[in-house]
Structure 1
Amino acid sequence: MSLAYKKLKNKGYVIKSGLKFGGEFRVYEKKSFIKNKHAKYICIPIKQTEKIEPKDIISNIRVTHSTGKKLLLGIIDSQEDVTFYEIDWVKI
């Protein structure tokens, strides 16, 4: 089980597979999961030392946005702490 998964689960989120949406898992707020609503986020956990290409981030944002979700990057540092960053399109 990934560190990002554990941290979100411990904070009360409901976690399901996100492979269909290009991420590791879907993240639901508990109340929306109970009401049979859609996931709020698609989470992609990555280690702080990993490189991620801008085109990959853009691709993931496009998929999550087109499905009514937001991208949640879980950055895992060397002390195995996870910091989450919510990424979404902004219409200007």
Structure 2
Amino acid sequence: MVIFMSKKDSEEIDEKPVEKEIVKEVIDTTFEEDKVIAFQNYDKIYEPGYYGKIIDNRLELALVEACLLLKRGRIRVFKDGKQLSFQELYDIAVSLDKRFPHRYRVYEDLRERGLLVRTGFKFGCDFRVYERGVQLKKGPKSAREHTKWIVFAVPEDFTCSFQELSRAVRLAHNIRARMLWAIVDNEGDCTYYQITRHKP
């Protein structure tokens, strides 16, 4: 197997239409352990941009999602009765995950480009990204409705073995997606590299 890496300069990801803000209502949420939860009116967060996941009549937001929504003024976050600022929530997230700054920056950048982004924990990656305009649904999906990219957020000095890279590429191939290496530099700029495999 031969692996090729190329800078992702396609308009698919590089054009930057800012995500349309549909709902202006601010929703109260609660910080619990390693997530942020909305118990009421969560459809106003979930449906416009598919943020979080609905479990047992509540919406659970990953911290990257909650930080972005808080920064955009879409939610208020309370912890032990105290309202948290963006910086306070961000600092909590960093204390729980040292990779959070890079993961958050990539998540924010992808969302700013108008892309539908979901967390990728159960797939072994940072994020799953879908084509613009896709509506998430359960059951059979068309080719366009499947995950288009799986994304790994890394700092510019990141190193890994060929075996680790190969596993990541195979993961993308197994779910019919493409793999993106999202490299975050010291200024917070994101550069995307698409990695593909070819059998000689």
Give TM-score scaled by structure 2 length.
Answer: 0.43
Q: Which runs of 5+ in 1 are unaligned?
A: none
Structure 1 contact 47–76 (Cα < 8 Å) conserved: yes
The secondary structure found in structure 1 opposite 2:159 is coil
Aligned partners of 1:51, 1:71: CA distance in 2, in Å? 16
Matched, 1:34 2:142: no
Q: Which residue of 2 aligns with 1:4?
A: 106
Rg larger for = 2
Q: Percent identity?
A: 27
Matches within 5 A, 1:2-81: 2-31=104-133, 33-34=134-135, 36=137, 37-81=145-189
**Runs (4+) of structure 1 moved beyond 4 Å?**
none
Q: Which runs of 5+ in 2 are unaligned?
A: 1-63, 65-103, 138-144
**Which amino acid letter does the alignment assign opposite residue 172 of structure 2?**
T
Q: Which residue of 1 aligns with 2:72?
A: none
Shift of the alpha carbon at 1:91? 4.4
Give TM-score scaled by structure 1 length.
Answer: 0.88
Counting matched residue pairs gives 91
